[in-house]
Structure 1
Amino acid sequence: MASHETGSGRAQVAGELTRESFRRPWAAQLGAYVMTVLLMVPAVWICDWALPGFHAGPPGGPLLFAAVLALVGLVLQPVLVGAAVRLGWLGVLLLAFLGQALVVMIAARLLPMVTLDDYWSALVVAIVIGLVGTILGWIGSAGTSQVLVGRLVSTHRRRRVEIEDPEVDGVLFVQMDGVPFPVLQMAVSAGTVPTLTRWIRSGSHTMAEWTPKLPATTPASQMGILHGVIDGIPAFRWYDRARDKVMVANKPADAAVIETDLSTGRGLLADDGVSISNLFTGDAPAAVLTMSRRARGGELAQRAVANFVVNPSGLTRALSRSVSELTRDRFQAKRAIRRDVQPRCERTWETALLRAVTNGALRDLNTILVAQHMLRGTRSIYVDYVDYDEIAHHAGMLRPESLEALEAVDAVLHQLELVAAAAPRRYRFVILSDHGQSQGAVFADRYGEDLAALVARLADSEVAASDDSVEGWGRTQALVDELASAGNVSGRGMTSASRAMDKRSRNRPEQVSPGDTSTRSADRGATGAETFHVFGSGNLGLIYARGEKERLDRTELHRRFPGLVEGLALHPGVGFVVVMDRDGPIALGNRGSHRLDDGHVEGEDPLAPFGVHAPEFVTRVAHRPEAPDIYVNSLVDPGTEEVAAFEGLVGCHGGLGGWQDRAMVVVPTDLPFPTDRIIGADAMHMALCGILRHCGHREGIAYDGAPPARLTEP
């Protein structure tokens, strides 16, 4: 491993025990073995006492059995992992249960004083040992995540990787999805994110705010950050007039089309980078759990999870954390109702299950994949942790469970910091969010009808509505698609599961007729004959006249649907409406208008409550060919900065108002970065490319454009 000097302010790897284990891997192995044995003994004793089909012999039998069991597991683990990868995901799941029972049976056969009646007894012993080991390990080590990191580092020490350019610093970009700058600022001040707090207070990193442009949503921001392009994506979902098709950014097929249309081939990760758990690749040669590159990196993901679940505590850890998240979500949702916490939205078993996936197994898998690439010396890595964003959508951006998710991702940063100390090159950490988040009561709850029902009533027409919250479910399908990439029986099974998810997709439009309320039946699918298609993207609404190849202007909309545009603009829940007029796009409010091209205002400016950048941001999207016939942005309360989401979310992003356009970035202080606030994800792309170039990357890639203003050189 290349040695690197530690400069003033550089984050230190805490813990003498961790540092010693990195220097002397045999000591770490021995310590881990002894700890495993000690954690197994109580579980073996419980099985000996409670299970008729298992007996560990004399008083010292449980200790001896635990020692042999741990040794057999250590020897067989590489075999089980290799078998799991060859068999595919079905093999991973089978070996997670069956493999550990096999280890128990072998250990029992090696010890004459141990009796084991049958396979089912062995399976129960394996499950009990995994459960008890996880519980005691959590108590003894403040969580098994450190054990996970230690195993990854120990494996690297046994199989050292030599790289050609150890003098080139690697860069790890960690996207903390949806974290607003004010929320991170408060967390750092409170010290509840200890890793980031240590970095910022020590002076090794600096924290800054940046402003994503409209729309403030992951597809547009990630395309800008990773590819340097922010046009072409008007929302999370939209109607593509040229293709006569609804585009959904987290559907793999659509994400691939979007990236193909917009990528320049010189993305952020084009120089030997890897994209992990993102919507787009950044032109990385390798991509795992990435929407736009389906079925790539499957074997790497399989091996990562196989290593995790064939360990006695691995699957138990994943299951216990997922069950914990599920249980906590249900408790917290009922507590919010009991306390009448406002504003709030409906939190169902479905949203709880989604939280269990994103904040449980997916977080661990992302961490494992990032660690593996760091230990291989991959030059640049971009990973998206959606933990905070997913919970804040349904709980609120400052609620305890949302802040706990932020703390959990901060703990992941510390784990990766420990991994970096053993990596074959020095890694620089850049932390950023793709957008912020705003809060407020749902539009439909405030006014008794959602946006689609309002449009149907005002236009006296049937509407195809797409306003369900689907952002998080795309992550789950990405995981299933990765599993489907294996060329084996289980891979084909996962392909069937992925197709089934497509058929049952919540992205499918629903039909809304005049007089419908906000509660719609899930089986009322759109027929394709509806007059309008209405999309909700946070508090940004998009209304398209279906089947039209060109955008309808204000005059044509008024001729066909006389009360629609004016009715929307006068609604108390709408902040402004944007349509194309004779003299260009115009923003209409209930007390005035703002002509966007020349800035002429009549009455009260409807854009004034939305900040100084609102006219520029709205003008840009209004002139884009993919713009809808009508943009609708909800109100913003001037006192609380609350908005009203057109989706069923209490925390949202997509439009203007509140903290959704207040994103954050944390950068090492000795790297070049603009001192002025960055405006737009495309400008953020240029700044991050500047960091890579400073570290010795992108030498064979054409220059990315003019350098950011006022760079601070080290």
Structure 2
Amino acid sequence: MSGGARTGPRNGAGRLLRGGRVAARVLLVWVLAAAALRLLDVWLSGFSMADWWQPTVCALLFGVLSGVVWPLILRVALPIAVFTLGIGSFLLLGAGVLAISFAVPGVVIADFETAVVVAVAVSALGALGSSLLALDEDELFFRRAARRRARRGTGGDAEMPPGVLFLQVDGLGMDTVRRAVRDGDMPTFARWLADGSHRLTDWHTDWSSQTGASVCGILHGDNSDILGFRWYEKDRDHVMACSHPEDAAEIERRHSDGGGLLSVDGAGHGNLFTGDAEHVSLTMSALPLLAGAARRHRGSDGVGAGYYTYFANPANTLRTLAGALVDVVREISASTRQRRAGVLPRVNRGGFYPFARSATTVIVRDVVVSAIIEDMLAGRAVVYADFLGYDEVAHHSGVERFDALAVLRAIDQQIGRLFRATQLAPRRYHIVALSDHGQTQGWAFTHRFGESVEALVGRLCGAPQPEPRRGVNSDARRPAEGWQVGAALAAASTGSGPIARRLRARVEQTGSEADRPRTVSGAPGAVTRVAPGVVVVASGHVAMVSFTEHEGRVGLETIEREFPDLLPSLVDHPGVGFLLVRSAEFGPVVLGRDGLHRLATGRVIGEDPLDGYGPHAADLVRRVDEFDHCPDIMINSRYDPVTGDASPFEPHVGSHGGMGGPQSRGFLIHPADLPAPGEIVGAEALHRVLRGWLTHLGHPEPAVGVPATRGVPVNDVTRGSQVP
């Protein structure tokens, strides 16, 4: 049965029986709260109740405070709850408990601290009692909605097309999904596939297999000129970062035409971009207070959506904080086990990271789920939400290591909860689950080769560098064959491959070093230069090199003339898969150790450097070459198809951002009664599939406004002489 199922007719006896069960459970929780107050009277100094009736009355008043008064107060005090992750709510509840002690004769609470302890203890017992007694809060939400709908009449609801929940499991690749379904780590998905309600397929990402490019393409139908999670824009001397609110707002301004996937009665939660949704929360591009251009199509809910619903129940806050603390302990334990077992590859997971992890795996997840339930309660047409926890843990732990799979099981559990909630919602809903990309595992470039890609390029461009292994994360153990790593670096500098030899021969034919013009360092501004006039930006499995002393795109011939060692050493480096450069005569050229590929004509000399990177590699690279802000050199890490290993340019274990292996294969699981999507290549194509499904279900087409100005005019290509 698909997520489109809806609640059937109910007879009066059934409603009465179910209402009686809920009333009985509430009564039992009330009794438990009264018992807790009696125990606190015995154990807690500074808190006393002299008469037998006082705990019962106080428990009743506390229930009224939590269920009626507190939600009203929260409409004003929401920022306190938000910015303290719910802890501030217990301070306010403590004040309420103190007020109750003044209202009930004979009840004594010595001070404010004691009142807070009482509030926390009673809320904790309420949360525990609700869980043990199966008091399903989702069911209460939707039964309330059903009563509201019954009072209004149900005729209008029958005419509405089914709503759709798009649930993104960030970073979960197709290969991992298959194994998780097979091995029982995703029982909800396994059940859907087993009973035939849903179908599983894959989709191929763009060259930039990272969240920024994928989500912008999925939500807005356009991800042009997005080169990575971060990239350098030479005309502005600025590094764009999708995780920066102002940059995210600018990216959306460039790509939104007002008709995004969520533009018609939509909501988005936990995303980088809004998809032109009217209701958003935890959305990066909506955060800037002055991002008027990026918010011209909507009245953003800001942080209110989801947060209000969630923090309106103090038990939610306590339950989530407890879960977050458990996750912190789980992360410390998993990290310790990796170090003791000598597991490689691995990265440093100390410092503040355990708390940052619990924020994504527990706190944000719970708030997002609460926001989705509120969206269904409101009957919104389409919702897109991102579950980030698996991606975060896989970066630091590994793609399929036990703690990453534990997070995956928890996400699957929440998706199962949302699936059950669709059966009670006031509107029919379908669930579509998908990912924005996969992840490829490998030993980080810096740890494997002793220097970062930024240091490598800087050294090859003539900048003095510290000892290569100085500053390498001490937690990353060097292999016993460390001397072989040094030998590999030495071999890279000699240019032993055929393409490197040919590049060096061309440089020697061009002229002596004295004849080559030298660059001078410009004002660095806000961007760090790895060498005078050289900027390197790493984004997962892609690194981008720009030469700031030249306007526009710098050609291969100019690079050879000014930095003769750079291209030969890069193509021969064991951590580099291929390079994209632009030639004056032949256009875009992909260079690898044993061959080159001229993209304009399709001619390959030697071995095709794009072999092993998928059947669409040439088209995807050719598309990036046409971007306005394409860097002068685009580097993709080397992928080994035998081991499935690639070394990211950032300190991650599981990573993505380029091409090579599972990072390029996302998954898509959809109700079986929706049209089959066929082969999907690129996030823009996936957007068209999802938009087509909404149209198929009867959703109205969005009203598209005037497209926003995107990027800057294409820069002229530096002209030069013949290329290899």
TM-score calculated relative to the size of structure 1: 0.82
Q: How does 1:106-117 map to 2 (within 5 A)?
A: 106-109=99-102, 111-112=104-105, 114-117=107-110
Which residue type is aligned with residue 37 of structure 1? W
* 1:192 Cα deviation after fit: 2.5
Q: Deviations over 1:612-636 (max 9, x none)?
A: 2222222221232321111111111
- Contact 1:56–1:113, Cα closer than 8 Å, also in 2: yes
Is the counterpart of residue 407 in structure 1 residue 404 in structure 2? no
Q: How does 1:545-584 map to 2 (within 5 A)?
A: 545-581=547-583, 582-584=585-587
* 1:337 Cα deviation after fit: 0.8
* 1:132 Cα deviation after fit: 4.5
Q: How does 1:374-523 map to 2 (within 5 A)?
A: 374-461=376-463, 513=465, 517=469, 519=471
Correspondent of 2:92 among 99, 105, 113 = 99
C-alpha separation in 2, matches of 1:90 and 1:212: 36
C-alpha separation in 1, matches of 2:95 and 2:205: 53
In structure 2, the gaps of 5 or more residues are 290-294, 474-524, 706-724
Structure 1 match to 2:681: 679
Is the counterpart of residue 49 in structure 1 residue 58 in structure 2? no
Q: How does 1:335-374 map to 2 (within 5 A)?
A: 335-374=337-376
- Contact 2:274–2:286, Cα closer than 8 Å, also in 1: yes
- Contact 1:168–1:696, Cα closer than 8 Å, also in 2: yes
Bigger drift between 118-127 and 85-94 goes to 85-94
Structure 2 match to 1:244: 237
- Contact 1:587–1:596, Cα closer than 8 Å, also in 2: yes
Q: Deviations over 1:33-75 (max 9, x none)?
A: 2343254356434422321112344678656653453344334
Q: How does 1:145-160 map to 2 (within 5 A)?
A: 147-153=136-142, 156=145, 160=149
- Contact 2:543–2:649, Cα closer than 8 Å, also in 1: yes
Q: Deviations over 1:167-202 (max 9, x none)?
A: 221111111111111111112122332222222111
C-alpha separation in 1, matches of 2:13 and 2:468: 66
SS at match of 2:574: coil
Q: Deviations over 1:90-130 (max 9, x none)?
A: 79958612332244335445655644333332222112233
Residues 102, 669 of structure 1: alpha-carbon distance in 2 compared, 3 angstrom cutoff: same
Which residue type is aligned with residue 245 of structure 2? P
C-alpha separation in 1, matches of 2:93 and 2:147: 24
Which residue type is aligned with residue 576 of structure 1? F
* 1:339 Cα deviation after fit: 1.3
- Contact 2:81–2:88, Cα closer than 8 Å, also in 1: no
Correspondent of 1:311 among 310, 313, 333 = 313
Is the counterpart of residue 667 in structure 1 residue 670 in structure 2? yes
* 1:611 Cα deviation after fit: 2.4
Which residue type is aligned with residue 461 of structure 2? A
- Contact 1:95–1:310, Cα closer than 8 Å, also in 2: no
C-alpha separation in 1, matches of 2:307 and 2:447: 42
C-alpha separation in 2, matches of 1:646 and 1:700: 40
Structure 1 match to 2:331: 329
Which residue type is aligned with residue 224 of structure 2? D
Structure 2 match to 1:590: 593
C-alpha separation in 1, matches of 2:250 and 2:301: 24
Residues 130, 116 of structure 1: alpha-carbon distance in 2 compared, 3 angstrom cutoff: same
Bigger drift between 375-384 and 123-132 goes to 123-132
Structure 1 match to 2:607: 604
Structure 2 match to 1:320: 322
Q: Deviations over 1:112-168 (max 9, x none)?
A: 564433333222211223344445655665xxxx74434543554565596956422
C-alpha separation in 2, matches of 1:125 and 1:514: 58
Is the counterpart of residue 198 in structure 1 residue 191 in structure 2? yes
| Identical pairs, percent | 34
C-alpha separation in 2, matches of 1:642 and 1:23: 60
Structure 1 match to 2:224: 231
SS at match of 2:456: helix
- Contact 2:188–2:412, Cα closer than 8 Å, also in 1: yes
Which residue type is aligned with residue 178 of structure 2? Q
C-alpha separation in 2, matches of 1:23 and 1:171: 31
SS at match of 2:332: helix
Structure label with greater radius of gyration: 2
SS at match of 1:576: strand
- Contact 1:25–1:154, Cα closer than 8 Å, also in 2: no
Residues 684, 22 of structure 1: alpha-carbon distance in 2 compared, 3 angstrom cutoff: farther
- Contact 1:223–1:229, Cα closer than 8 Å, also in 2: yes
C-alpha separation in 2, matches of 1:652 and 1:424: 40
Bigger drift between 209-218 and 297-306 goes to 297-306
Which residue type is aligned with residue 648 of structure 1? P
C-alpha separation in 1, matches of 2:66 and 2:255: 49
- Contact 2:279–2:301, Cα closer than 8 Å, also in 1: no
* 1:639 Cα deviation after fit: 1.8
- Contact 1:441–1:645, Cα closer than 8 Å, also in 2: yes
Residues 310, 43 of structure 1: alpha-carbon distance in 2 compared, 3 angstrom cutoff: farther
C-alpha separation in 2, matches of 1:349 and 1:147: 37
Structure 2 match to 1:652: 655
Is the counterpart of residue 218 in structure 1 residue 206 in structure 2? no
* 1:516 Cα deviation after fit: 6.0
- Contact 1:212–1:663, Cα closer than 8 Å, also in 2: yes
- Contact 1:255–1:279, Cα closer than 8 Å, also in 2: yes
- Contact 1:301–1:369, Cα closer than 8 Å, also in 2: no
Bigger drift between 330-339 and 58-67 goes to 58-67
SS at match of 2:418: helix
* 1:361 Cα deviation after fit: 1.5
Residues 653, 549 of structure 1: alpha-carbon distance in 2 compared, 3 angstrom cutoff: same
* 1:574 Cα deviation after fit: 1.0
* 1:608 Cα deviation after fit: 1.3
C-alpha separation in 2, matches of 1:216 and 1:128: 46
- Contact 1:241–1:547, Cα closer than 8 Å, also in 2: no
In structure 1, the gaps of 5 or more residues are 1-7, 463-512, 704-714
Q: How does 1:607-622 map to 2 (within 5 A)?
A: 607-622=610-625
* 1:32 Cα deviation after fit: 4.6
SS at match of 2:645: coil
C-alpha separation in 1, matches of 2:377 and 2:136: 16
SS at match of 2:370: helix
* 1:415 Cα deviation after fit: 2.1
C-alpha separation in 2, matches of 1:135 and 1:88: 21
* 1:547 Cα deviation after fit: 4.8
Is the counterpart of residue 267 in structure 1 residue 256 in structure 2? no
C-alpha separation in 2, matches of 1:11 and 1:107: 46
SS at match of 2:395: helix
- Contact 2:571–2:577, Cα closer than 8 Å, also in 1: yes
Residues 525, 281 of structure 1: alpha-carbon distance in 2 compared, 3 angstrom cutoff: closer
Structure 2 match to 1:255: 248
- Contact 1:55–1:115, Cα closer than 8 Å, also in 2: yes
C-alpha separation in 1, matches of 2:178 and 2:576: 30
C-alpha separation in 2, matches of 1:342 and 1:375: 47
CA RMSD in angstroms comes to 3.3
C-alpha separation in 2, matches of 1:366 and 1:239: 32
- Contact 1:81–1:303, Cα closer than 8 Å, also in 2: no
Residues 85, 24 of structure 1: alpha-carbon distance in 2 compared, 3 angstrom cutoff: farther
Correspondent of 2:71 among 53, 78, 82 = 78
Structure 2 match to 1:487: none
* 1:83 Cα deviation after fit: 3.6
Is the counterpart of residue 290 in structure 1 residue 283 in structure 2? yes
Residues 359, 234 of structure 1: alpha-carbon distance in 2 compared, 3 angstrom cutoff: same
